[in-house]
Amino acid sequence: MITSIFYKEWIKTRRILLLSLVVFAALITYIFINVEQMFRINGATQVWTETILKDISVLTRIQWLPLILSVLFGVSQFVPEMSNKRLKLTLHLPMPENKIMFSMLAFGLSGLLILYAITYMAILGGLNIYYPPEIVWSMVEASLPWFLAGLAGYLFVAWICIEPVWRHRVFNTLIAAYALTFFMISAKSGAYMPFIPYLLAIIIVAHFFSFYSMYRFKDGSQ
């Protein structure tokens, strides 16, 4: 049954997943063209000096991308469920409703994690050619909250979409929007590290929010 649910989710989201992959690939390619140009024109000494002294990261262009794509991904997965109340049919599948919801979210989170893992591998592989590990790691540290924002954003979208009452959808959106600002505070590279466990805690807690919306949907809240 879980395989069938995964297949159903794949059908809904495959286009947006492919689009995400293409957009990430295009942006990473652009970043490396840019890095190559910087090293060619300014020289390695100048680039490294500016990176160390001014805390310049080549990954800043990627900042909003994980969040935007995960929101699109969440919308593509959960809006079809809510149109004509198709979620009712999904929840009537011969499986406990909690397990159904868990499978749907697990599919989404796995998809995003695979996408992020591919992106990080490409970034790490490329940056290691140009920069020493300390600089690469500081860039990764700076970008980590943006990718976590992607996971949180996806879970918030699921919570908002499944909520049956429009008024509460608006409140949920405001709450989610403010919570997402925690992931986007402008800070020096590495400054976010003490906050990462708290961001992970937010993601774990947010994972349960959709279940609440699902209970309300099942209870027939209007």
Partner 1 sequence: MKSKKIIYIQILLFVTFIGMCAIPSLCKKITYSPDDYPFVYYSSILKELCYIDFHDKETPMRDGAGNLYTTAQYDSLMPLFNFRQLMVDGRLPDSIDGHEITPPILMSKSIIYRYSPAKFKTPDVGLYMMYESMPKRVGLELPDDVFRMKDKIEFIDNASNTINTQKSQTFQQALDKAGYSFPTQWVSGNMNPHKRYDEGYFCLDDSRQLFHVKMVNGRPFVRNTHIGDSITIEGFTVYEAADKRFYGFLFDKMGSAYIIESDEGKYKALKLDIPPINLENDEMMIMGNLLYWTVSVTSKKGKDIYALKSGTLECLQKIAIERTPGKWDNVSAWLFPAYLTFEHNNSDFIYPRLTVTGYKAFAVNLALALLFSLVISNPGKKRLFNFLFVLLTGITGLIALLILPDFSTKKIKSK
**Minimal distance, residue 220 CB to partner 1, in Å:** 6
49 binds partner 1 (CB under 8 A): yes
Q: Which residues contact 210 (CB under 8 A, 6 or more apart)?
A: 101, 105, 155, 158, 159, 162
Of 57, 147, 189, 203, the residue at the interface with partner 1 (CB under 8 A) is 189
Identify which of 128, 160, 114 has the alpha carbon closest to the alpha carbon of residue 32: 128
Q: Is the Cβ of residue 24 or residue 156 nearer to partner 1 in the bound state?
A: 156
Q: Would you say 154 and 75 are in contact if contact means Cβ atoms under 8 Å apart?
A: no
Interface segment toward partner 1; rule CB under 8 A; list 18-26, 88-96, 132-140, 147-155: 132-140
* CA pair distance 75, 106, nearest whole angstrom: 15
* CA pair distance 176, 117, nearest whole angstrom: 24
46 binds partner 1 (CB under 8 A): yes
Residue matched to tokens 């909690």: 98
Q: Which amino acid is at 153?
A: G
Segment 50 to 109, residues that bind partner 1, using CB under 8 A: 52-53, 55, 98
182 binds partner 1 (CB under 8 A): yes
Q: How many CB atoms lie within 10 A of CB 76?
A: 19
Interface segment toward partner 1; rule CB under 8 A; list 43-51, 60-68, 76-84, 109-117: 43-51
Q: Would you say 136 and 128 are in contact if contact means Cβ atoms under 8 Å apart?
A: yes
**Minimal distance, residue 149 CB to partner 1, in Å:** 13
185 binds partner 1 (CB under 8 A): yes
* CA pair distance 54, 161, nearest whole angstrom: 41
Question: Which residues in this chain contact partner 1 in the complex, by CB under 8 A?
Answer: 43-46, 48-49, 52-53, 55, 98, 129-132, 134-135, 138, 141, 163, 165, 168, 171, 175, 178-179, 182, 185, 187-195, 198, 202, 205-206, 208-209, 211-212, 215-216, 218-222
